[in-house]
Chain A
Amino acid sequence: DAKTTQPDSMESTEGETVHLPCSHATISGNEYIYWYRQVPLQGPEYVTHGLQQNTTNSMAFLAIASDRKSSTLILPHVSLRDAAVYHCILSNTGYQNFYFGKGTSLTVIP
């Protein structure tokens, strides 16, 4: 029961900065925005999460719209290792089951 909308696929060239959009128009006030990525033969890997403020870590920058109805995961200087399916998920704090949709399949061209 995914509550987010993402493009099916995106393509980028190695070294570029990639912007992965996610729409979550029905987000509720206590829901966090999580981003995970998954490569073949592996489970999903945590990328980042945020509530209202933009966040940054060693993997990515998460830009959250002021009305929280959309967010963008920004991957600076992508490499071939960043090729994966990126999932945008909403979740409250507390024990929650994540609902994954199709995500965005990111292809990185050498």
Chain B
Amino acid sequence: ETAVFQTPNYHVTQVGNEVSFNCKQTLGHDTMYWYKQDSKKLLKIMFSYNNKQLIVNETVPRRFSPQSSDKAHLNLRIKSVEPEDSAVYLCASSTKTNSDYTFGSGTRLLVI
């Protein structure tokens, strides 16, 4: 099956803990993205990587850091979570034409 796969689906943690989310795409795309979807369902871009190189880094707190081992994987680490980090984190991938921009099903983070 070719798609964007995210793990875990859900994660509950306490303030100050470190979390890491995984994303893998089997579509042969060379660009991957992380989005944050807040409680109002708005999606905001956080990072994008092209062939393991960071190409976009929107204004996000420094506790967020993307990690890419190859063009098929882009993980997201949050060093010390805050309550406002509770959200859905969506991973996506694409080729240059964008016509095949594909999202994963998301990782739901709850910080208590």
Contact = CB atoms under 8 A, between A and B. Distances in A.
Chain B interface main SS type: strand
Interface in A77-110: 85, 91-103
Query: How many B residues are at the interface, by size bracket?
Result: 20 to 34
B103 to A, nearest CB: 3
A43 B92 contact: yes
Given A95-B55, A97-B56, A98-B45, A46 B40 contact: no
Contacts, number: 60
Contact of B42 (A41, A45, A92, A100): A100
Nearest to B31: A95
Interface residues of A, number: 24
Interface of B: 4, 31, 33, 35, 40-45, 48, 50, 55-56, 58, 90, 92, 94, 96-106
Interface of A: 32, 34, 38, 41-46, 49, 85, 91-103
